[in-house]
Structure 1
Amino acid sequence: MKVAFASSDNNHIDQHFGWAEKFAIWDVQMDQARFAGMVQVQPDGADSEDKIAARLGALSDCAIVYVTQIGGPAAAKLVANKIHPIKSKGEGEETIQEVVEKLQQVLQGNPPPWLRKAMLKDERPT
């Protein structure tokens, strides 16, 4: 499954969803994970609806997005588009690598229902 991280340095989760200009994309599986690239968000207007729409378009094939903060309307739109938002601990305290490793450990055990759904994102009808 593809996982996005709001990151300014491709190392730490340190950006608010609405202000992030780029997201690190990782392909995370139970037994392997690889960096799939950076997605640059093109500014698409000044209001919050435009900012949310631009980020939704850029992250449409992701199942999960990690951020430091996210507003209620943005989180609701992500969920409606089958993308699960997760707030990271602290402002840049967690590294992407740490989170990827924790996510893989959960995948190897008995993932919670929301994560099983996220894993099947591409298989569900839109």
Structure 2
Amino acid sequence: MNHLTRHLRLTDEDAPSLRLAFASGDKKTVDQHFGSCERLMVYGVAPDRYELLQVAGFNVAQGHDLDKLETRMRVLDGCFAVYCVAVGESVFRQLLARGIRAIRVEPGTRIPDLIAQLQAQWPTTGQHQARASKDPSRFAEFEDGGWD
């Protein structure tokens, strides 16, 4: 059975590279369980902007079907995280093995609000420089004191 019903991919060479997916039936909020979602919305996110990159629609079939889950996971290739209202433990581990974090949120959480929360935590250039410029010998005093 083909689980993918529609798949729109937008190509933009200047698209933000951090990719986030959202399990959404209404295209505005996270309101679906990952394994039975009717749609995944994939956005590219940068500190100051975001844009829709991909929309995938699925046949909704109940039960545990490995092909159904694999189809959804292929859509997530290259994503950092997927936001959903629920995800099974086994699927959670499968996603993590692919480098994708499954983040559970309350049903009805607005997608733009989730993106804004992430952008608010984005490190500024000054924070990156401060971390990179820390003295590499700053732990020497601990080692001298017997710490490993």
| TM-score normalised by the chain length of structure 2 | 0.66
Which of 69, 84, 87 is the aligned partner of 1:67? Answer: 84
Q: What does residue 58 of structure 1 align with?
A: 75
The percent identity for this pair of structures is 27
Higher relative contact order (CA 8 A, sep 6+): 1
- Structure 1 position 106 matched with structure 2 position 113: no
Whether contact under 8 Å (1:3, 1:63) holds in the other structure is yes
Larger Rg: 2
- Structure 1 position 8 matched with structure 2 position 17: no
For structure 2, the 5+ residue unaligned runs are: 1-17, 128-148
| TM-score normalised by the chain length of structure 1 | 0.76
The CA distance in 2 between the partners of 1:81 and 1:43, in whole Å, is 23
The CA distance in 2 between the partners of 1:70 and 1:98, in whole Å, is 21
Name the structure where strand makes up a greater proportion of residues. Answer: 2
For structure 1, the 5+ residue unaligned runs are: 111-126
Q: What does residue 41 of structure 2 align with?
A: 24
Whether contact under 8 Å (1:42, 1:54) holds in the other structure is no
**Structure 1 segments of 4+ aligned residues over 3 angstroms from their partners:** 41-44
- Which amino acid letter does the alignment assign opposite residue 86 of structure 2? Q
Whether contact under 8 Å (2:36, 2:60) holds in the other structure is no
Deviation at 1:50, TM superposition (A): 2.2
The alignment yields a C-alpha RMSD, in angstroms, of: 2.1
Whether contact under 8 Å (1:4, 1:24) holds in the other structure is yes
